[in-house]
């Protein structure tokens, strides 16, 4: 009986695939930064749109338009604040140099549900999440392959 190699080629392929999933850079994140312009309407007690998505490095312009009372927008993580009166659009410029998900919230008391007036800024895709999904899927495929019926093995 031939001595079986400890490291079969299959395991090497599997290891390389797993490594690729972990380290291959996200093509979206490598895209050149662009100018992004958003108009966010603030009303009691919501932002429309309530979530915006940019890529890291993008130059972002946020126009805050208030449609009823004085509202504000404080962006967590970037520590930026702006307030807008109805009829006076306020503008925020920033470079999205920090990746991740950040909450923005109303910074001016605007009524009873003011604390619940929140939105979200996504900078870049959630790489960790998608890489974890990839590794999980790879594990499932490998598991199915290992446990395939005996007769199929060469």
Partner 1 sequence: MKAERFALLFVIVLVIGVPLVAVLARSTSDTIEMHAQMADNGGWTPSNLTTQVGQPLHLRLTSDDVVHGFAVGQSIIPPVDVLPGQWTTTTLVFDQPGKYTFYCTRWCGPNHWRMRGTIEVTGTTSETITTTPPLYVTLNLDLDAPHPSEVVPDEKPSAIRGAALSVKRDRAAELDRTQSPAQLWQALKAAPETAALTDQQIWDLIAWTYRSRTTPERLAEGRQLYQQNCAACHGETGQGDGVIAPSLMKTPMPGMTMTGHETVAPINFMDAKNMLGASDAILEGKIIRGGMGTGMPYWGPIFTPAQIQALIDYLWTFQFGQ
* Interacting residue ranges for partner 1, rule: CB under 8 A: 65-70, 85-89, 108-111
CB 92 within 8 A of CB 74: no
Q: How far from the centroid of its chain's Cα atoms is residue 80's Cα?
A: 19
The residue among 14 and 70 lying less far from partner 1, judged by its C-beta, is 70
The residue among 49 and 111 lying less far from partner 1, judged by its C-beta, is 111
How far apart are the C-alpha atoms of 153 and 150, rounded to whole Å?
6
Smallest distance from the beta carbon of 89 to partner 1, in angstroms?
6
Smallest distance from the beta carbon of 86 to partner 1, in angstroms?
4
- Token pair for 151: 């007769």
Smallest distance from the beta carbon of 36 to partner 1, in angstroms?
22
CB 114 within 8 A of CB 127: no
The residue among 60 and 110 lying less far from partner 1, judged by its C-beta, is 110
Smallest distance from the beta carbon of 114 to partner 1, in angstroms?
8
CB 45 within 8 A of CB 116: yes
């Amino acid at each position: 009986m031939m001595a079986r190699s400890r490291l079969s080629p299959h395991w090497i392929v599997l290891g390389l695939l797993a490594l690729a999933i972990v380290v291959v850079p996200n093509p979206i994140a490598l895209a050149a930064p662009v100018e992004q312009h958003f108009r966010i309407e603030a009303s009691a007690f919501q932002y429309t749109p309530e979530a915006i998505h940019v890529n890291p490095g993008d130059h972002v312009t946020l126009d805050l338009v208030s449609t009823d009372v004085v509202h504000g927008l404080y962006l967590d993580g970037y520590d930026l604040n702006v307030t807008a009166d109805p009829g006076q659009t306020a503008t925020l410029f920033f470079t999205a140099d920090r990746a991740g998900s950040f909450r923005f919230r109303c910074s001016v008391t605007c009524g009873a549900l003011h604390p619940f007036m929140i939105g979200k800024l996504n900078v870049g895709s959630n790489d960790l999440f998608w890489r974890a999904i990839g590794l999980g899927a790879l594990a499932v495929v490998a598991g199915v392959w290992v446990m395939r019926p005996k007769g199929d093995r060469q």
